[in-house]
Amino acid sequence: MAFFSNLCVIMNLRPSNLIICENDTMTDVNAPQHAAHSLALQQLYSHYQAVKINDINDLKFSHGSVEENARLSAAGLTIDLSRAFINQEILDELILFAETMGLSDQIQALIGGAEVNNTEQRAAHHTALRCPPAKQHRAEVTATQHKIKGISDRLRSGQWRGHGGSVITDIINIGIGGSDLGPRMITHALSHFADGPNVHFVANVDPRDLETTLQVLAPSTTLIIISSKSFSTTETLENALSARKWLLTEMNQDDLSNHIIAVSSNNEKAIEFGVNAENVLPMWDWVGGRYSLWSAIGLPIAIATGYQNYNDLLAGAHAMDEHFANNSLTNNIPVLLGLLEIWYINYCSANSIAVLPYSHELRLLPDYLQQLVMESNGKQVSKDGEPVKHRTCATIWGSAGTIGQHSFHQLLHQGTESIPVDFILPLKSHSHEKHKQAHLVANCLAQSKALTEGKSISIAEQELLNAGVSNEEAQRLAKHKASPGNRANTIIAMDQLNAKNLGALVAMYEHKVFVQSIMWNINAFDQWGVELGKQLSTPILNTLQNDNSKATADTDKTTAFWCEQFINQNS
């Protein structure tokens, strides 16, 4: 395991959920329980007991040059784990853990299109969407990509005309969840390359989302993309109906064919809605919603930035797929990051993970990752339907640097909970103001350094004394100014943000999520939990729209009270 041969970076994280039985066996309520690898789990717990009291500042250089051996590069990304809470022995046990779970075979199953989604009996073959033509075995993917290119080229060149021969200047993508978050995040991230029609995104059923978007647009120069795999998602259909009504204020029903495109697996419903059959792009059941930006759901990306950038996005993701599929577990970026987070969550009591992109263009990345991570691994039963006895997912949150430094970074540095951080760092900006980019990079590196090294009470006291503060006041204030340090963080860097690097970054996080699901023995590709709220909302909506007092009386008291308040306010 050459990558970590000299790495010994230990951090002081104290668990709240690790329990020792009288016979000294490990019964960690968060660590995955599988008989086949109980020894690996015991070893991991023993390692935690051995390292939890150590200080990173004492051990950082104890085994040579940590920095050079803690970096791994692939697909345009460089991952720096020199400030991770890990050492070689722990890594060895984590790799053994992964081997007992058959992770290598599971990776091949995912990439090969096997039925890894066992609750819905289908593949999760989104990696096929980014295979280059020479390796593409799904003809429907190639055909759809040609259609994406044709549509985007016509819109960008002005050949696609709207009502009265108008050039289309604005696109509204109406979707929600994976049909919104992915293309929205990518389009914002690649805004430097945007030279086509203006692309807007509407997801919220709150009427103000669509209304404020339409206020500055004209129907004759606007094209609507309805992105809905089932073409039955309530929020999307409600917004689509309102958008169609808006279009019809300026044109006839027959003119809609040049103003509406649909991306859906339900052609019949899309055509029934009024979409021309030629303007319906397909979706497939082997592509999950949160993995769908690589499909025709990514059409807004191609329209905004050009098909070449869209193709580069796919190429970057494919490069990460190749790295993930063809490298050993010990030199595999998604594997190492996934295992590291398993260690943080199940052994070091990490309840949340912060993702901090030091790039304004990547400001929506934490929002995108919230769905990818928490909808995938927020599960409480195993693949076999048995209750899990361990935590399966941390809360993902964050915002763009340097904005967060003036709000929640206080918690990261001095809070009572230790929160691992991913710093996302493009080294070069697309802006010509290099001095401001230097400020940005300096802040990112400083935050990483401060989280790890902290500031001792003695140093804080000496700084106060040097500033002319009295001895008594210095002793009083030093405890407030000190930071504990020893807080884990990872730097994920790239030379410059572009479509290829971005594709690799997103694919890296996708594969990291899959690695964790295998380790926890859960299905990362279903999302039954989100259906409950949808199911319950239907009768409530009927009550609100029909002023049905009987239906109100039949529900629980809290819901009935607020239904009555709504009816009173809107009568």
Contacts of 422 (CB under 8 A, 6+ apart): 353, 354, 355, 356, 398, 489, 490, 492
So what's the pLDDT on residue 11? 37
So what's the pLDDT on residue 549? 59
Say if residue 516's pLDDT is above 90. yes
Two tokens, residue 38:
């109980």
Nearest-10 crossing angle of helices 457-466, 471-481: 130
So what's the pLDDT on residue 50? 65
Residue whose pair of structure tokens reads 């940590």 in the numeric block: 66
Two tokens, residue 20:
């020792």
**Helix, strand or coil for residue 386?**
coil
Question: Of the residues 137, 245, 406, 550, which is catalytic?
Answer: 406
Say what the pTM is.
0.92
Question: Of the residues 93, 235, 375, 510, which is catalytic?
Answer: 375
So what's the pLDDT on residue 41? 65
Q: What is the pLDDT of residues 370-391, one digit of tens each?
A: 999 999 999 999 999 999 988 8
Q: Is 534 a catalytic residue?
A: yes
Q: Report CA 110 to chain centroid distance, whole Å.
A: 19
Q: Is 479 a catalytic residue?
A: no
So what's the pLDDT on residue 20? 24
Question: Of the residues 146, 434, 479, 534, which is catalytic?
Answer: 534
Average pLDDT value for residue range 340-345: 93
**Kind plus residue range of the DSSP H or E element containing 38:** helix 38-51
Say if residue 38's pLDDT is above 80. no
So what's the pLDDT on residue 52? 65
Phi first, then psi, for residue 152 (nearest 5°) are -65, -40
Identify the CA nearest to 411 among candidates 342, 487, 475. 487
Q: Is 272 a catalytic residue?
A: no
User: What is d(CA 262, CA 271) in angstroms, rounded to the nearest whole number?
Assistant: 9
Two tokens, residue 311:
């193709």
Two tokens, residue 237:
């259909």
Question: Environment class of residue 540 by beta-carbon count within 10 Å: exposed (0-12), middle (13-18) or buried (19+)?
Answer: middle
**Helix, strand or coil for residue 226?**
strand
Average pLDDT value for residue range 23-44: 50
Two tokens, residue 348:
């070091």
Strand partners, 78: 73, 493
Per-residue pLDDT band for 4 (boundaries 50, 70, 90) equals: very low
Strands 71-74 and 77-80: antiparallel
Of the two residues 106 and 38, the one the predictor is more confident about is: 106
The CATH number that domain 126-313 falls under is: 3.40.50.10490
Identify the CA nearest to 420 among candidates 322, 488, 358. 488
What distance, in Å, lies between the first and last C-alpha atoms of the chain?
69
Per-residue pLDDT band for 118 (boundaries 50, 70, 90) equals: very high
Least confident of 23-27, 103-107, 260-264: 23-27
Two tokens, residue 296:
């025709």
Region of 6 please: left (phi>0), alpha (psi -120 to 50) or beta: alpha
CATH architecture for segment(s) 2-100+327-453+487-520: 3-Layer(aba) Sandwich (3.40)
